[in-house]
A and B are shown apart, each in its own frame.
Chain A
Amino acid sequence: MFPFKWLVSAIMVGFHDGLSTIGLPAANGWTWTLSIIGLVLVIRAALIPVFVKQIKAQRGMQLLQPDLKKMQDKYKGKTDQLSRQAMAQEQMALYKKHGTNPFSACLPMLIQMPFFFALFQVLSGISTAKAGGQGIGAMSLEQVKQFDESSIFGAPLSASLLHGSTAGGEVAVWILSIVMILAMTASQFITQKQIMAKNMSEEAMASPFMKQQKMMLYILPIVFGVGGINFPIGVLIYWTTTNLWTMAQQFFVIRRMPTPGSPAAKALAERRAAKGLPALPLLGAKKADAEAAASASASAAAAVEARSQRVQPQRKNRKRK
């Protein structure tokens, strides 16, 4: 955990130093709050390339649509689990063959975990470190003291609802924690709801995971709400900010680069049509157009072939399938 703790505290201290030099009061809780928000911005901005890559891959999917359709026809009506698995395997092989993959891997989600735990350890360890007279990670003893004494709305940043604080302000901690927990769970709920209502393709909607996912939509806010009583205010700030970032990013993606075949993609196509703009060629919403274009090019290719070589006549019962 040490390298992450060091990195997290170093980024925070960096922002704090920067904000102090431009004139914000160094010992103020708001300066530290902005430093935590700065930490979120750095981590999330570093993850943007991953999201861009994923969205590009989703658009690239249109190119392998004919192969995909052929494969789906092959498994049509086979609903037993083993056949579904065989289809999933074939689909993955197909993605690999075309060098594209709509799935982002679990790394973008997992990579935030150590940073979150490191921040949790740093913030909840502030009081102990101060009592023990030592710094944490890249934070010096002086900064630890300063952080421990800083507060927003009278609530110390290192205090949590369950453990209170050494510096007083119990009521402020209570109110602020509850407001932050509500903001945190609400933003998460809205984001998840938006994705499920607007940005899922029809295939994903029909998948057997959907029911469990719907259940989780309601269970997860409860889990985080209960977990939140143990989080220091600083961690709640981090979590709420990162959720707000996800929400904004998701709104942008749903509006501008929706998943092909999802309701959001249809809405985008309609908006573009209303403005008299051509449909985005690689977006799945205009599937019929893409198919028409594909069949047109296929017939053109057939015409070229017909010119170069006569098709051999064949007896009907010898025709290959």
Chain B
Amino acid sequence: MRNPAAAVVPHVKPAALVSALCWLGTALWQLPRNILIVLLMAYRKVISPLYGQVCRFFPSCSAYALEAITVHGAVKGSWLAARRLSRCHPWNAGGVDHVPAGHREWPEDRTPTIVVMNNPDKYLAAQSDGEGRFAA
């Protein structure tokens, strides 16, 4: 059994230090992205319902922005979102307009909700496949 006092002593194993620094670095690197994600989620929860549906596209502009920033990060995601907003005007016919695929990968059951919701055909097929297998 380890001495509980040992944890208090500021003698940390170098491996733990490296992993802590790594974690901190990732958190800092991801900070702008995560701030934007929180802001967008707040907008979608509070302000967006005010107007009801106005967007001519699927996914809607805010859903597109949220997915783009989740998948591509703060810089490229914002750029994609800005381009989408400039496309969303009454003289564009609208329609289905998905976020281009990114490089980020997630474990199968931990795909962000927004990615699933924005690509219903893909994930609905996967879901019914799973159900089918389960039933068989």
Beyond the given A54-B90, A82-B124, A106-B88, please list 4 additional residue pairs across the A-B interface where CB-CB is below 8 A.
A82-B123, A93-B58, A101-B56, A212-B45
Selecting from B1-9, B13-21, B33-41, B92-100, the interface stretch reads B92-100
Q: Is the CB of B54 within 8 A of A103?
A: yes
Chain B residues with a Cβ under 8 A of chain A? 45, 49-58, 61, 85, 88-90, 92-96, 116-118, 120-121, 123-124, 127
- Chain A 60-100: CB-based contact to B (< 8 A → 1; otherwise 0): 00000000000000000000011101101101110110010
A82 to B123, CA, bound (A): 8
Q: How large is the interface on A (under 10, 10 to 19, 20 to 34, 35 or more residues)?
A: 20 to 34
Shortest Cβ distance from residue B66 to the other chain A in the assembled complex, whole angstroms:
14
Q: Is the CB of B90 within 8 A of A89?
A: no
Q: Is the CB of A101 within 8 A of B93?
A: yes
Shortest Cβ distance from residue A286 to the other chain B in the assembled complex, whole angstroms:
25
Kindly identify which residue among A86, A92, A107, A213 contacts B52, using a CB–CB cutoff of 8 Å: A213
- Chain A 207-228: CB-based contact to B (< 8 A → 1; otherwise 0): 1010011001000100000000
Q: Is A105 an interface residue (CB 8 A)?
A: yes
Query: With A83-B120, A89-B58, A89-B96 as given contacts, are A107 and B50 in contact (CB-CB < 8 Å)?
Result: no
Q: Is A1 an interface residue (CB 8 A)?
A: no
Give the chain A neighbours of B53 by CB distance below 8 A. 103, 204, 207, 209
A93 to B93, CA, bound (A): 10
Give the chain B neighbours of A93 by CB distance below 8 A. 58, 95-96
Q: Is the CB of B58 within 8 A of A105?
A: no
Kindly identify which residue among B89, B95, B123 contacts A95, using a CB–CB cutoff of 8 Å: B95
A161 to B17, CA, bound (A): 56
Shortest Cβ distance from residue A205 to the other chain B in the assembled complex, whole angstroms:
10
Query: With A85-B120, A86-B124, A92-B57 as given contacts, are A107 and B94 in contact (CB-CB < 8 Å)?
Result: no
Query: With A105-B56, A105-B88, A209-B53 as given contacts, are A92 and B121 in contact (CB-CB < 8 Å)?
Result: no
Within 8 A of B (CB), among A22-68: 50, 53-54
Shortest Cβ distance from residue B56 to the other chain A in the assembled complex, whole angstroms:
5
Q: Which of B45, B55, B56 has the most chain A CB atoms inside 10 A of its CB?
A: B56
Kindly identify which residue among A85, A95, A96, A105 contacts B117, using a CB–CB cutoff of 8 Å: A85
Shortest Cβ distance from residue B42 to the other chain A in the assembled complex, whole angstroms:
13
Q: Is A104 an interface residue (CB 8 A)?
A: yes
Give the chain B neighbours of A105 by CB distance below 8 A. 54-56, 88-90, 92, 94
Give the chain A neighbours of B88 by CB distance below 8 A. 105-107
Give the chain A neighbours of B55 by CB distance below 8 A. 103, 105-106
